[in-house]
């Protein structure tokens, strides 16, 4: 926030006006956010999901006693005192096919049943959430950093720099986002990516992270650039320029703090969008690679079982809906708290 | 006596009635459109190049060769009958020369009359377009060596000789070949018009002499076959008239959707193995529409013997010991649809003697994986920790098998990953050595009923062509001793089938011990037909006879 904002004072009833320490803009935004019960509920739900996913190894090792990454087609477990095959051969009609164990609703083992490989769906769901959240979070951080950098430089310096950066963003923007992400994934997923000493191997999570981060840069950079263009003409920037303050200092000390609210508002929204993109890519087998799991890959596993064991696909679907919903509500709350006048809203 | 006479008389009357009613009843079923579906197309439509079961079944009613496999039910389909040739030729010159008399009056679907020049040009075209079996099936024809070296100028001089005056074709072989009739009965030897361009015709249909002709082909959408307007039946065994007026093959439908479409009567049949979660439903709700037949085929995981880690015999053995074949069978659809296997010759073939060294209790049958031994072998091979990529098709069963194999490879110490490719390209991709495929999962369905079609074709030195998409020896395996034994067995079978069978048994064991592939199981074929389809005929050679199905 600009330091030009006026400090606030409150007047006590029946007393002479006593100046109280003014609340900073961040503190006021924080108070406003805390007062927003819907946003706080969403934050609570998101934290709960994150904690549950972080606890995946504990759940798999100490509660479910299962390895969710190893096929267990010939395995069996004890349910209600009886040995039950994880993949059960059909006994009806011609005896064709086999069906994975359904939900036991017992959190000790196979709470949500088994997938076609005999793996514990609940444990995979938690592990998958870790990857989905990691990719969503990391790609958001990279995307926002690149977007802020390009938006600031392009908007502030203008001229040729602005033209080059803007056209580059236009080119990226011209591709439908999913088409671009799918194309990049297909090209890179089989051979990985190498630039000089930096190498990303084909199965690495860094591939979907970078791909998702890059395709969304224009999405965020454009509003930042617009804001910088307006701020560049504001009095405090012109005054700083008049006083001979170096450009980099104006950018860091005067412009960046003013666009920071926009960037922060983008955080939960971009995490949500990036998680959805990751799920889509993984569903198409071009995101997270087996045997690693993400919510997208689990939905893909469940696609082949949709008739007999729909929970394999439904459970990660619900997880995605809840997480994205929580992040979107939190994003709205953040926007209201940080910049109530802003029109920025991402659907 | 009287009663007996009456019975005989009644039987004769019934027989006469049936004979009289037969054609009329058959005519009732003539017409309609047979609707086939598959997840993807089978690649090029050129019958000299395509090497997929998907299109080979269709070539049976669109193209003809000098000889062909009989259009009959069951193992009678293994019988070879004359097709464009008037009769089966006599063996001359000690089994090195065969003279075929060509039938007269047969026309291609473009109206041009078939003659001996078409036959010669068609044999030359096998080499000119580098047919995948040019080097393995037809290299025994005189002049084939030169054709293999310089395909563009192939003449097969002295190998395939036309006599226009007598309407005969003489084929001379370098040496007697017990499987020569089999080899010229498969689609790569069909006869096409002499003016067919000497290049892969891809999506462009080539005229044929069959009861049907391809009218349009878009690999992303549909293949359409319609009646050949110039077709007249010359042999019911070789090229019977079909029942449907048109056969439409639609591509792009996912496995689940294919089954739903058939259940709802929107499609009549699917090529693809049904998704595992629909099998129970099909078996319990639609049992009368399900047909299960044993195949002479195998699912296997070829391992590239020329690049790490599977250039090490111990690494290949380890994979064989580690695989739980029961799990593989379960993922495929259960014991009703497959049987675990370790060896290359499938059950029912000459030379088949049950053999399985890759199990906890080595012997005739597979019983259980031996993970401890597998881990020990990986350690001894020094290949532990190496990266291995498994290439599979994008079908549900293939992906499930691939994921399972990845888990197995990880459990014995490899850093394994799975790469899924479209069914359209996976089979050619894994053949090309330039793609450096280490291990894949694929299937092999016999070209013709002989053990050499599995052993020699899949693992013989002549089938390995580095850098080519047509190198069906996927592991790149070439053992001179085993290769010599195979050639000897083929010569033996000219004179003594029983002795040859024993030699093939020995070759099978030697090859299995070298483990260029991990044989997984012997599949059965499941045909799921819509309710309206009648006259289901399963031919052991080319499976369901689509052209003989009734759709009305």
DSSP letters, B333-387, are T-TTTEEE--SSSPTTSTT----B-SSSS-BSS-----HHHHHHHHHHHT-TT-E
| A94·B278 Cβ contact <8 A | no
| Residue-level pLDDT at B405 | 97
Q: How far is CA B446 from the centre of its chain?
A: 5
Instruction: Find out whether B456 and B446 touch, Cβ atoms under 8 Å.
Output: no
Q: Which residues of A touch B256 (CB under 8 A)?
A: 303-304, 306-307
Please indicate if any CB of chain B lies within 8 Å of the CB of A161: no
| B334·A98 Cβ contact <8 A | yes
Enumerate residues 189 to 208 of chain A having a beta carbon within 8 A of any beta carbon in chain B: 190, 202-203
Output phi, psi for B362, to 5 deg.
Answer: -55, 140
Please indicate if any CB of chain B lies within 8 Å of the CB of A303: yes
Confidence of residue A89 (pLDDT cuts 50, 70, 90): confident
Q: Which residues of A touch B400 (CB under 8 A)?
A: 116-117, 304
Q: Enumerate the β-bridge partners of residue B392.
A: B420
CA dist B214 and A106 (Å) reads: 57
Q: Tell me, yes or no, whether A54 lies in a domain.
A: no
| A92·B283 Cβ contact <8 A | yes
Question: Among the residues of chain A, which ranges form H helices?
Answer: 25-35, 37-54, 56-58, 121-157, 159-174, 177-191, 206-215, 217-232, 235-242, 247-250, 256-283, 295-303, 311-338
Instruction: Find out whether B508 and B351 touch, Cβ atoms under 8 Å.
Output: yes
| pLDDT higher than threshold 50 for residue A8 | no
| pLDDT higher than threshold 60 for residue A342 | no
pLDDT in tens, B442-490: 999 888 889 999 999 999 998 898 998 878 999 999 999 999 999 999 9
Please indicate if any CB of chain B lies within 8 Å of the CB of A310: no
Q: Tell me, yes or no, whether A105 lies in a domain.
A: no
Instruction: Tally the domains of chain A.
Output: 1
Q: Enumerate the β-bridge partners of residue A98.
A: A89
Picking from B257, B272, B277 by the largest number of A CB atoms within 10 A of its own CB, the best residue to mutate is B277
| DSSP one-letter string for A206-262 | HHHHHHHHHHTHHHHHHHHHHHHHHHHTSHHHHHHHHTT--HHHHIIIIIHHHHHHH
Distance (Å) from the alpha carbon of B336 to chain A's nearest alpha carbon = 6
Nearest CA in chain B to A287: B419
Q: How far is CA B93 from the centre of its chain?
A: 31
Q: Tell me, yes or no, whether A34 lies in a domain.
A: no
| A99·B277 Cβ contact <8 A | yes
First to last CA, chain B: 44
A331: CATH? 1.10.3720.10
Distance (Å) from the alpha carbon of A89 to chain B's nearest alpha carbon = 7
Instruction: Find out whether B373 and B321 touch, Cβ atoms under 8 Å.
Output: yes
Distance (Å) from the alpha carbon of B521 to chain A's nearest alpha carbon = 16
Distance (Å) from the alpha carbon of A305 to chain B's nearest alpha carbon = 5
Structure tokens at A313: 């696909």
- Compute the mean pLDDT over every residue in chain B, rounded to the nearest whole number: 92
| A305·B281 Cβ contact <8 A | no
Task: Classify residue A60 by its DSSP letter.
Answer: I
Enumerate residues 270 to 329 of chain B having a beta carbon within 8 A of any beta carbon in chain A: 275-285, 287, 290, 292, 324, 326-327
| B330·A117 Cβ contact <8 A | no
Q: Enumerate the β-bridge partners of residue B442.
A: B300
Q: Enumerate the β-bridge partners of residue B33.
A: B246
Instruction: Find out whether A80 and B326 touch, Cβ atoms under 8 Å.
Output: no
In this structure, of A89-93, A145-149, A341-345, B437-441, the range with the lowest mean pLDDT score is: A341-345
Enumerate residues 523 to 552 of chain B having a beta carbon within 8 A of any beta carbon in chain A: 526
Instruction: Find out whether B489 and B507 touch, Cβ atoms under 8 Å.
Output: yes
| Strand duo B387-393 + B415-421: pairing | parallel
Query: Which are the contacts of A183, defined by CB distance < 8 A and separation ≥ 6?
Result: A175
Distance (Å) from the alpha carbon of B407 to chain A's nearest alpha carbon = 5
Q: Tell me, yes or no, whether A38 lies in a domain.
A: no
Pairs of residues, one from chain A and one from chain B, whose beta carbons lie less than 8 Å apart: 117
pLDDT in tens, B179-238: 999 999 999 999 999 999 999 999 999 999 999 999 999 999 999 999 999 999 999 999
Instruction: Find out whether B471 and B432 touch, Cβ atoms under 8 Å.
Output: yes
Please indicate if any CB of chain B lies within 8 Å of the CB of A304: yes
Q: Tell me, yes or no, whether A78 lies in a domain.
A: no
| Residue-level pLDDT at A19 | 64
Nearest CA in chain B to A94: B283
Structure tokens at A143: 């995307």
| pLDDT higher than threshold 80 for residue B52 | yes
Secondary-structure percent of chain B, ordered helix, strand, coil, rounded to 5:
35, 20, 45
| DSSP one-letter string for B141-175 | BTTHHHHHH-GGG---TTTEEEETTTTEEEEEBSS
Picking from A88, A96, A299 by the largest number of B CB atoms within 10 A of its own CB, the best residue to mutate is A96
Buried b (16+ CB within 10 A) or exposed e, B127-164: bbbbbbbbbbbbbbbbbbebbbeebeebebeebbbbee
| pLDDT higher than threshold 90 for residue B301 | yes
Sign (positive or negative) of CA dihedral B234, B238, B244, B246: negative
- The structure's pTM equals 0.78
Distance (Å) from the alpha carbon of A303 to chain B's nearest alpha carbon = 9
Q: Which residues of B touch A74 (CB under 8 A)?
A: 324, 326-327, 330
Q: Tell me, yes or no, whether A277 lies in a domain.
A: yes
CA dist B88 and B79 (Å) reads: 12
Instruction: Find out whether A298 and A287 touch, Cβ atoms under 8 Å.
Output: no
| A304·B281 Cβ contact <8 A | no
| B407·A71 Cβ contact <8 A | yes
Task: Classify residue A287 by its DSSP letter.
Answer: S
CA dist B488 and B496 (Å) reads: 12
Please indicate if any CB of chain B lies within 8 Å of the CB of A92: yes
Please indicate if any CB of chain A lies within 8 Å of the CB of B257: no
Mean pLDDT across B26-55: 93
Structure tokens at B48: 């000299």
| Residue-level pLDDT at B26 | 67
- Compute the mean pLDDT over every residue in chain A, rounded to the nearest whole number: 88
Q: How far is CA A160 from the centre of its chain?
A: 34
Q: Tell me, yes or no, whether A63 lies in a domain.
A: no
Mean pLDDT across A243-259: 92
pLDDT in tens, B64-93: 999 999 999 998 999 999 999 999 999 999
Query: Which are the contacts of B402, defined by CB distance < 8 A and separation ≥ 6?
Result: B390, B392, B418, B420, B441
Task: Classify residue A117 by its DSSP letter.
Answer: T
Mean pLDDT across B519-536: 96
Angle between helices B497-514 and B452-459 (to 10 degrees): 40
| B404·A304 Cβ contact <8 A | no
| Residue-level pLDDT at B10 | 39
| Strand duo B246-251 + B33-38: pairing | parallel
Please indicate if any CB of chain A lies within 8 Å of the CB of B74: no
Q: Tell me, yes or no, whether A23 lies in a domain.
A: no
Structure tokens at A60: 């798999």
Distance (Å) from the alpha carbon of A291 to chain B's nearest alpha carbon = 7
Sign (positive or negative) of CA dihedral B188, B190, B196, B202: negative
Which domain covers residue A196, as residue numbers?
A: 121-338
What percent of chain B clears pLDDT 70, i.e. is strictly above it?
95
Nearest CA in chain B to A74: B327
What percent of chain A clears pLDDT 90, i.e. is strictly above it?
63
């Amino acid at each position: 926030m600009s330091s030009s904002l006026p400090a606030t004072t409150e007047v006590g009833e029946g007393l002479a006006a006593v100046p109280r320490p003014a609340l900073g803009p961040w503190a006021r935004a924080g108070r406003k956010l805390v007062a927003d019960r819907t946003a706080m509920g969403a934050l609570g739900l998101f934290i709960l999901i994150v904690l549950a996913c972080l606890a995946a190894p504990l759940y798999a090792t100490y509660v479910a006693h299962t390895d969710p990454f190893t096929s267990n087609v010939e395995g069996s477990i004890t349910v209600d005192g009886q040995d039950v095959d994880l993949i059960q051969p059909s006994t009806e009609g011609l005896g064709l096919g086999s069906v994975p164990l359904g939900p036991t609703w017992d959190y000790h083992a196979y709470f949500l049943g088994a997938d076609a490989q005999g793996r514990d769906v609940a444990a995979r769901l938690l592990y998958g959430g870790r990857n989905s959240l990691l990719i969503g979070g990391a790609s958001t951080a990279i995307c926002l950093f690149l977007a802020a950098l390009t938006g600031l430089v392009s908007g502030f310096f203008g001229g040729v720099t602005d033209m080059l950066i803007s056209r580059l963003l236009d080119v990226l923007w011209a591709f439908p986002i999913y088409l671009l992400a799918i194309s990049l994934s297909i090209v890179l997923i089989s051979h990985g990516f190498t630039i000089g000493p930096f190498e990303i191997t084909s199965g690495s999570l860094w591939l979907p992270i970078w791909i998702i981060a890059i395709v969304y840069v224009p999405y965020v950079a454009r509003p930042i650039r617009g804001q910088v263009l307006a701020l560049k003409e504001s009095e405090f920037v012109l005054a700083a320029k008049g006083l001979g303050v170096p450009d980099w200092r104006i950018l860091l000390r005067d412009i960046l703090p003013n666009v920071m609210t926009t960037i922060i508002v983008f955080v939960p929204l971009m995490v949500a969008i990036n998680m959805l993109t990751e799920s889509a890519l993984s569903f198409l087998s071009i995101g997270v690679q087996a045997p690693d799991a993400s919510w997208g890959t689990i939905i893909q596993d469940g696609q082949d079982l949709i008739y007999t064991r729909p929970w394999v696909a439904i459970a990660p679907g619900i997880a995605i809906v809840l997480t994205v919903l929580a992040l979107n509500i939190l994003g709205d709350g953040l926007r209201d708290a940080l910049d109530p006048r802003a029109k920025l809203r991402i659907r | 006596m009287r009663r007996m006479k009456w019975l005989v008389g009644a039987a004769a009357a019934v027989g006469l009635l049936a004979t009289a009613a037969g054609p009329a009843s058959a005519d009732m079923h003539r017409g309609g459109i047979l609707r086939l579906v598959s997840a993807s197309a089978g690649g090029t439509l050129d019958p000299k190049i395509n090497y997929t079961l998907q299109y080979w079944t269709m070539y049976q009613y669109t193209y003809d060769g000098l000889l062909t496999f009989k259009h009959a039910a069951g193992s009678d389909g293994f019988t070879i009958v004359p097709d464009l040739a008037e009769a089966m030729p006599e063996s001359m010159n000690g089994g090195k020369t065969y003279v075929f008399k060509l039938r007269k009056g047969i026309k291609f679907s473009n109206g041009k009359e078939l003659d001996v020049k078409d036959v010669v040009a068609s044999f030359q075209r096998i080499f000119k377009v580098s047919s995948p079996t040019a080097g393995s099936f037809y290299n025994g024809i005189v002049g084939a060596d030169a054709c293999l070296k310089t395909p563009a100028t192939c003449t097969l001089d002295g190998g395939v000789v036309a006599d226009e005056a007598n309407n005969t074709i003489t084929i001379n072989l370098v040496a007697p070949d017990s499987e020569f009739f089999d080899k010229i009965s498969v689609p790569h030897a069909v006869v096409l018009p002499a003016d067919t361009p000497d290049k892969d015709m891809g999506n462009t249909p080539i005229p044929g002499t069959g009861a049907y002709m391809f009218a349009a082909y878009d690999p992303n959408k549909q293949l359409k076959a319609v009646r050949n307007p110039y077709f007249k039946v010359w042999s019911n065994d070789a090229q019977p008239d079909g029942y449907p007026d048109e056969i439409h093959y639609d591509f792009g439908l996912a496995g689940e959707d294919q089954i739903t479409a058939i259940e709802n009567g929107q499609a009549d049949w699917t090529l693809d193995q049904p998704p595992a979660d629909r099998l129970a439903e099909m078996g319990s709700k639609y049992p009368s529409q399900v047909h299960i037949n044993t195949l002479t085929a195998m699912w296997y995981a070829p391992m590239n013997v020329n690049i790490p880690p599977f250039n090490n015999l111990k690494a290949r053995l380890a994979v064989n010991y580690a695989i739980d074949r029961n799990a593989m069978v379960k993922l495929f659809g259960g014991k009703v649809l497959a049987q675990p296997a370790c060896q290359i010759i499938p059950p029912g073939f000459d030379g088949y003697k049950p053999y399985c060294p890759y199990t906890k209790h080595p012997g005739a049958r597979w019983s259980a994986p031996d993970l401890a031994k597998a881990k020990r072998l990986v350690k001894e091979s020094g290949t532990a920790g190496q990266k291995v990529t498994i290439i599979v098709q994008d079908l549900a069963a293939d992906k499930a098998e691939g994921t399972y194999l990845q888990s197995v490879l990880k459990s014995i110490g490899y850093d394994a990953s799975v790469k899924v490719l479209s069914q359209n390209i996976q089979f050619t991709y894994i053949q090309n050595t330039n793609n450096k495929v280490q291990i894949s999962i694929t299937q092999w369905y016999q070209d013709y009923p002989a053990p050499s079609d599995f052993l020699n074709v899949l693992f013989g030195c002549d089938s390995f062509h580095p850098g080519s998409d047509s190198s069906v020896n996927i592991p790149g395996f070439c053992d001179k001793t085993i290769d010599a034994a195979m050639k000897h067995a083929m010569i033996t079978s000219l004179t003594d089938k029983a002795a040859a069978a024993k030699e093939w048994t020995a070759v099978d064991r030697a090859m299995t011990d070298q483990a260029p592939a991990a044989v997984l199981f012997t599949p059965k074929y499941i045909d799921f037909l819509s309710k309206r389809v009648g006259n289901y005929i399963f031919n052991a050679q080319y499976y369901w006879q689509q052209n003989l199905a009734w759709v009305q």
